[in-house]
Amino acid sequence: MKRFLPIFGFVVLFSIAILLNCYIATYAQEFDFNRAYDDYIYTYSQYRVAHSEYVSAKQAYLNYKTLTSKTEAQDKTLKMLEWRDEVIKTYLTALRLKLAETTGISNYEQNVLYLKLDSEVSWYIKHHDALSSAGSLEDLIDSAEESQSKYQETEVLIYQALGTILSGKETALRQRLNQQMESLKNKIAEIREKGDKKTTVAERWLLEAENRLTRSLEKQSAAQQILTKIKPYDSNKNQSYNQAQFALEESHQYLKEANLNLRELIREVKSAD
C-alpha cells in the first residue's frame, strides 16, 4: 500500500496543476467587457458604502472636533478615496473593452483612445498607491484635489470614448447598407441593359435611399463635432454629450429610412411592370 502512496500523490498534484491551468486559461479568455463591467459595478457599490461612511465620519468630526473623530474621519476618507480611484479605473477598463468589442471604429481611432485610456488608468493606479502614504487628513484633502482636477480631463475622454462607441455602431450599419446599395445598383444596371423591365422608378428610389445615407453621415459628423468641442473646464459636459447622442439618434433614423427605401425598391424590382 505504501509504495502506491507517491504515485497517488503525484496524480493528485498533477490533477490540481491541470485544473489550475484550466481555470487561469478560462479567466484570461473570459476577461471581456461583461466581466470588466461586473467588476466596475461591484467596485461602484463598494465606493457608495465607503462614501456614506465617509460622510458620517466627516459630520462627526465637524461636530465634535476631537482627535478620535479626526482619526476616524481620516480613515474613512482614505477608504473612500481608494474606492473612488478604483471605480474610475474599473470604469475606464470596461470602456476600453467596449471599444474593443465595437465594430465600425477605425484602427487608428481605437488605438488613440486605447493609449489615452491606458494613460488615465496608470495615473489612477499611481494615485491610489500614493494615498496610503498620506500622513494626515490635510494630506488626503490635497491628494483628493489632485484627483478632482484630473477627473475633469478624464471626463472629456470618457464622453469622447462613449461617442466613438455609438458612432462606431452607426458606421458599421451604414457600411452594410452601402454594400447592399452597391449590389442593387449593379443589378439595376444589368436589368436596364437587358431591357426586360423598366428601371426608372427603381433608380429614383435608389437615389432616395442614397440621400438618406448621406444625411445619416452628416448627422454623425455633427455629433463628432460636438464631442470634440468638449473641454476639461466645461461645467456642462454631460449636456454636450446628450446633444451628440441626440444627433446620433437622428442619424440612426435616417439609416432606418434608407433601409426601408431599399426594401421597397426590392419589392418594385420583384413586381412586373
In angstroms, the Cα distances linking 5 to 15, 19, 60, 171 are 15, 21, 63, 64
Q: Is residue 245 a contact point for other proteins (CB under 8 A)?
A: yes
Q: Which is nearer to other proteins, 109 or 268 (CB)?
A: 268
User: What's the CA gap between 264 and 261, in Å, rounded?
Assistant: 5
Cell of 132: 496610503
Task: Give min distance, CB of 227 to other proteins, in A.
Answer: 14
Angle, alpha carbons 241-245-249 (nearest 5°) = 170
Report the residue number, 8 or 258, with the smaller CB distance to other proteins.
258
Residues with Cβ within 8 Å of 71's Cβ and at least 6 positions away in sequence, in order, are none
Taking alpha carbons only, the member of 162, 174, 155, 171 closest to residue 245 is 162
Q: Which stretch binds other proteins (CB under 8 A): 3-11, 22-30, 106-114, 175-183?
A: 175-183
Angle at 85 between CA 55 and CA 38, to 5 degrees: 100
Among the listed ranges 7-15, 23-31, 124-132, 179-187, the one in contact with other proteins (CB under 8 A) is 179-187
- Residues in contact with other proteins by CB under 8 A are 37, 40, 44, 47, 51, 58, 61-62, 73, 77, 81, 84, 87-88, 91, 94-95, 98, 137, 140-141, 144-145, 147-148, 151, 155, 158-159, 162, 165-166, 169-170, 173, 176-177, 180, 183-184, 187, 191, 196-197, 245, 248-249, 252, 255-256, 259-260, 262-264, 266-267, 269-273
